[in-house]
């Protein structure tokens, strides 16, 4: 595979992870944002033993927030387009957290930037995957909208995440597109 893991193989030492949506973008309804994140985590839990549970207060393993420009982590966003989001590899404190640039237009369609697709990519980082060199991979660093109604995690990403956490019990989509 063309996938890469972070140096020193950063990964979570537990399979049950929590996430919290700290704030919301005005571009979508709260339920659209929640659905996009839920679907994005399912991409990864479908092919691993990982489970993701949403919590509503306190500190989660993966804290998700929307911000603009300098937003508190010394990695400022850059206004519309350019940098869309970033996430930190597994670890304490900032580890696993995902930040989305609220100067982007977030959508649940092909217009603007599709929050589900960007979140699925960022959560790959939150789980320990770096960028892939495979242009067809979800973890490839350039955003591409895939118009398919049912997103299938490409084989390169499956190999990458399973190299860290192993396969899950029952993969609902056993055919992963080879790229």
Instruction: Tell me which residues are annotated as active site.
Output: 122
Is 104 annotated as ligand-binding?
A: yes
Is 156 annotated as ligand-binding?
A: no
Is 78 annotated as ligand-binding?
A: yes
**Whether the Cβ atoms of residue 68 and residue 101 lie closer than 8 Å to each other:** yes
**Whether the Cβ atoms of residue 27 and residue 108 lie closer than 8 Å to each other:** no
Is 139 annotated as ligand-binding?
A: yes
**Beta strand spans in 30-170 (E):** 51-54, 62-67, 85-87, 98-101, 106-107, 113-114
Is 125 annotated as ligand-binding?
A: yes
* 54: DSSP letter: E
**Whether the Cβ atoms of residue 157 and residue 124 lie closer than 8 Å to each other:** yes
**Residue 4 has which token pair?**
């890469």
Is 176 annotated as ligand-binding?
A: no
Backbone angle region of 14, left / alpha / beta, with phi > 0 → left and psi within -120 to 50 → alpha: beta
Is 101 annotated as ligand-binding?
A: yes
Is 79 annotated as ligand-binding?
A: yes
Is 131 annotated as ligand-binding?
A: yes
**Residue 98 has which token pair?**
């995902």
Is 152 annotated as ligand-binding?
A: no
Burial (0-12, 13-18, 19+ Cβ within 10 Å), 74: exposed
Is 121 annotated as ligand-binding?
A: yes
Binding residues: 27, 61, 71, 73, 78-79, 81, 83, 86, 93, 95, 97, 99, 101-102, 104, 121, 125, 131, 139
Binding residues for Zn(2+): 71, 73, 86, 99, 121, 125, 131, 139
Binding residues for Ca(2+): 27, 61, 78-79, 81, 83, 93, 95, 97, 101-102, 104
């Amino acid at each position: 595979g063309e996938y890469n893991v972070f140096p020193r193989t950063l990964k979570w030492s537990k399979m049950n992870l929590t996430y919290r949506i700290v704030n919301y973008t005005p571009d979508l309804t709260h339920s659209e944002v929640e659905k996009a994140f839920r679907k994005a985590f399912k991409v990864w839990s479908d092919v691993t033993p990982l489970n993701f549970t949403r919590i509503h207060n306190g500190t989660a393993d993966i804290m998700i927030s929307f911000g603009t420009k300098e937003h508190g982590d010394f990695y400022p966003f850059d206004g519309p387009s350019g940098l869309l989001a970033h996430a930190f590899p597994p670890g304490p404190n900032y580890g696993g957290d995902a930040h989305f640039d609220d100067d982007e237009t977030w959508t649940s369609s092909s217009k603007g930037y599709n929050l589900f697709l960007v979140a699925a990519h960022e959560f790959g980082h939150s789980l320990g995957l770096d960028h892939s060199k495979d242009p067809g991979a979800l973890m490839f660093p350039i955003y591409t909208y895939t118009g398919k109604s049912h997103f299938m995690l490409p084989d390169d990403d499956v190999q990458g995440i399973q190299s860290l956490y192993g396969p899950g019990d029952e993969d609902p989509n056993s055919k992963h597109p080879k790229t």
